[in-house]
C-alpha cells in the first residue's frame, strides 16, 4: 500500500487548506485512514481518522470544530479540509492507513501511531500570523 499526501502550503491565519492523500494498492475501502502531524521539535500527533465506509470518524479535540476528514472511495483518496487555521497548526501532515475498515473502540488506540501500518510522506502546512 502506498500513500501520497499533497495540498500543503503557506496560508495566513484564519485561512483554509485542503489536503489530499491518494492511496494505491490493496482494496481502498478495507482501510481505516488517518491524518497525523508533526510540528518542529515536537512528537507526531494524531489529527483525525475515518473508517473504511467513511461513516465513522474521530478528531483531536483542538481541531474538531475546524477540520473535516472525508474520503472518496471511488477515487481512492482521503481529504482533510482545514478551516480557520491557526499558527499552532503549522506542521508536516502525514496520512496513514491500517488494514481494517473499522475504527478501534479505544480512543487511545485510535490516536496512536502504532495503530497504523502504512504511512505516506508528509506535506508541509505553514500558517503565518
Q: Give pLDDT, residue 2.
A: 97
Kindly report, residue by residue over 17-58, the tens digit of the pLDDT: 999 999 999 899 999 999 999 999 999 999 999 999 999 999
Rg (CA), the chain: 13
What spatial distance separates the first Cα and last Cα of the chain, rounded to whole Å?
A: 37
Distance between CA atoms of residues 23 and 79, nearest Å? 11
Kindly report, residue by residue over 113-125, the tens digit of the pLDDT: 999 999 999 999 9
Q: Which one, of 6, 15, 7, 8, lies nearest residue 86 by Cα? A: 15
Distance between CA atoms of residues 120 and 87, nearest Å? 23
Amino acid at each position: 500500500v502506498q500513500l501520497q499526501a499533497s495540498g500543503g502550503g503557506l496560508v495566513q491565519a484564519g485561512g483554509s487548506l485542503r489536503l489530499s492523500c491518494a492511496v494505491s494498492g490493496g482494496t481502498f475501502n478495507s482501510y481505516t485512514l488517518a491524518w497525523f502531524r508533526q510540528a518542529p521539535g515536537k512528537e507526531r500527533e494524531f489529527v483525525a481518522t475515518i473508517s473504511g465506509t467513511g461513516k465513522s470518524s474521530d478528531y483531536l479535540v483542538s481541531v474538531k470544530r475546524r477540520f473535516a476528514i472525508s474520503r472518496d472511495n471511488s477515487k481512492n483518496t482521503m481529504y482533510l479540509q482545514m478551516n480557520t487555521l491557526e499558527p499552532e497548526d503549522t506542521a508536516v501532515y502525514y496520512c496513514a492507513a491500517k488494514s481494517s475498515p473499522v475504527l478501534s473502540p479505544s480512543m487511545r488506540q485510535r490516536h496512536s501511531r502504532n495503530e497504523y501500518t502504512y504511512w505516506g510522506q508528509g506535506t508541509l502546512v505553514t500558517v503565518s500570523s
